[in-house]
């Protein structure tokens, strides 16, 4: 018989095998490698490395399309509705357009402040707000003036919703403008009703940790098209949230220590400028409400760079990741 000293350290690997017959709450198989010491308490390892594999993701999340909850039915714009500059009916009526423009009263080519107003009223609005000169009486090409009105009222007023993004949103969230390879902006119409989800809804599903394969491809392609910056950040945040979820599972099973759980939370918190306890509270709030959108406002580009550098250094040194 060999008795180990109470505080003796040990290193090794530990495998958890999924037992479908027992109905265990632990949903996947995993191999953990690390170190601990005898008499440490409830956890098996003080610190350990965990390689998250594809089979773990499949076992935990399955392969069914689950999408997620609707948390914001309408895509938000770069301004709140109360911040819109509106023009009174009297000022609109005071703008007299050429007779040849009357046919524009029956055409609605654009949205303005959330409504599909006529091209005629769009031009009136641009003139009344001093955004463009009144068309001369002999002007013929009304469509050209309608496009100009759209540019000065909608495109020129568009702005990013997030400090880390280059994607421009119209004030009402009906359009986005993204840069192409040549640096020119391309316009996209936001179709919340047609998609059955807002841009924020899709990003929220991704940030919750749900793998992309469990979200309908049409939603992912749509978000990637209308706001590639948001797609990229939502995917990054979702990956980190999902990875922490695996580490939290192991902590709850008594395999990883509370010390490592705090450390892992601290790593996640780097993305949002939060310490471990603040991140725990924030993440619990997001999970309980099913709404992770708050993370977008807190996302830190500098924090993300710091996390990437730390992980690169750890991987090279063979330390804990």
Length of the chain: 321
What is the mean pLDDT of the segment spanning 282-286? 96
Q: What is the pLDDT of residues 45-64, one digit of tens each?
A: 888 888 888 888 988 898 99
d(CA 17, CA 20): 9
Q: What is the pLDDT of residues 130-181, one digit of tens each?
A: 999 999 999 989 999 999 999 999 999 999 999 999 999 999 999 999 998 8
DSSP code per residue over 46-79: SEEEE---HHHHHHHH-SS------S-SS---SS
- Report the candidate in 50, 49, 43 with the shortest Cα–Cα distance to residue 29: 50
CA distances from 204 to 91, 212, 242 (A): 41, 12, 13
pTM: 0.89
Mean pLDDT computed over every residue of the chain: 90
- Report the candidate in 110, 67, 82, 83 with the shortest Cα–Cα distance to residue 198: 67
Asked whether the predicted pLDDT for residue 4 surpasses 50, the reply is no
Domain boundaries, the chain: 9-68+229-317, 81-155, 168-228
CA distances from 4 to 1, 7, 44, 144, 296 (A): 10, 8, 15, 86, 50
Q: What confidence score (pLDDT) does residue 112 get?
A: 97
The answer to whether the Cα torsion of 65, 71, 74, 79 is positive or negative is negative
């Amino acid at each position: 018989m060999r008795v180990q000293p109470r505080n003796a350290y040990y290193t090794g690997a530990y495998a958890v095998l999924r037992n479908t017959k027992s109905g265990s709450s632990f949903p996947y198989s995993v191999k953990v490698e690390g170190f601990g010491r005898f008499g440490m308490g409830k956890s098996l390892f003080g610190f350990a490395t965990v390689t998250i594999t594809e089979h773990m993701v499949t076992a935990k999340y399955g392969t069914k399309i689950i999408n997620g909850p609707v948390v914001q039915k309408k895509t938000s714009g770069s301004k709140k509705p109360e911040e819109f500059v509106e023009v009174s009916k009297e000022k609109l009526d005071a703008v007299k357009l050429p007779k040849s423009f009357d046919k524009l009263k029956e055409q609605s080519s654009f949205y303005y402040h959330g409504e599909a107003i006529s091209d005629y009223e769009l031009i009136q609005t641009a003139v009344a707000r001093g955004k463009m000169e009144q068309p001369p009486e002999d002007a013929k090409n009304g469509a050209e003036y309608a496009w100009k009105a759209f540019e000065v009222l909608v495109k020129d007023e568009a702005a990013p919703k997030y400090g880390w993004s280059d994607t421009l949103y119209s004030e009402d969230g009906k359009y986005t403008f993204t840069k192409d390879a040549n640096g020119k902006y391309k316009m996209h119409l936001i179709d919340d009703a047609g998609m059955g989800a807002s841009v924020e809804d899709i990003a929220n599903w991704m940030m919750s940790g749900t793998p992309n394969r469990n979200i309908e491809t049409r939603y992912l392609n749509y978000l990637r098209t209308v706001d590639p910056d948001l797609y990229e950040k939502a995917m990054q945040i979702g990956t980190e949230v999902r990875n922490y979820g695996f580490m939290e599972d192991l902590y709850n099973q008594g395999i990883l220590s509370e010390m490592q759980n705090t450390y892992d939370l601290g790593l996640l918190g780097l993305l949002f400028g939060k310490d471990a306890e603040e991140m725990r509270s924030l993440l619990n709030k997001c999970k309980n409400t099913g709404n992770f959108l708050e993370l977008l406002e807190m996302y830190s580009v500098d924090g993300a760079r710091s996390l990437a550098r730390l992980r690169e250094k750890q991987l090279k040194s063979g330390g804990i990741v």
